[in-house]
Amino acid sequence: MNGVAAWVGGRAIDVATVEERLAVMRHGPYAARLPQPDTAEGRNLRRWLVQVLVAEAVVEHEAAALGVVADDAEPRPLTLAEALRTGGVTAAVVAAHPLARALRLRVAPPVPAPDEVTADYHRRNRDRYPQPLDEVRAVLAARLGAEDAERRFAAWLDERCAALVRLAPGYEHPADPRHPDATHRH
């Protein structure tokens, strides 16, 4: 396959790059779980992969513009809670790419949640936090602030993708109703 799947700023993401990454997935430990290539689900997997590639390219673009460099080199596990909180593409990119984590810290640094937010969360979750609020306040405020930072970064990344990304026909987002394989909805 020749051609371009997407453009990020002035940078092209060619179809060969998409196919290479897809081949790695199809030969990886989860290959048996992937849909067959010539099905609607297989085409949507390719579209989802393009979303990941453009998000990675946007991270690289924005990190370069802001002078952000990665300070660690290891991927980290992705949790279901993170994926649900930020969206699968953002969560996957942040988990796999140290540069994305460094950029997230620059763009959306975690700030402890305000006391009223922390107290309300504690009140609504007494089954999980039976201790008095004063005993868990700092831990909850930090966790809620970190989760808020994840959501803020995801929103920022979505905005930057909307500004910088142009998808080629056939590589639309899997939920885009303009293509015939659009089966999942947001």
Domains delineated in the chain: 4-167 (1.10.4030.10)
pLDDT of residue 82: 81
Q: Of 11, 35, 60, which is closest to residue 165 (Cα–Cα)?
A: 11
C-alpha 32, offset from chain centre:
24
106: Cβ contacts below 8 Å, ≥ 6 apart: 66, 68
Residue 56 has pLDDT above 80, yes or no: yes
pLDDT of residue 72: 73
pLDDT of residue 78: 78
Predicted TM-score of the model (pTM): 0.86
Angle, vertex CA 173, rays to CA 57 and CA 156, nearest 5: 50
Per-residue pLDDT reduced to its tens digit, 6-55: 999 989 999 999 999 999 999 999 899 999 988 888 888 999 999 999 99
Q: How would you label 158-167 residue by residue, b for 16+ Cβ within 10 Å and e otherwise?
A: bebbeebbeb
Task: Residue 87: count other Cβ atoms within 10 Å of its Cβ.
Answer: 19
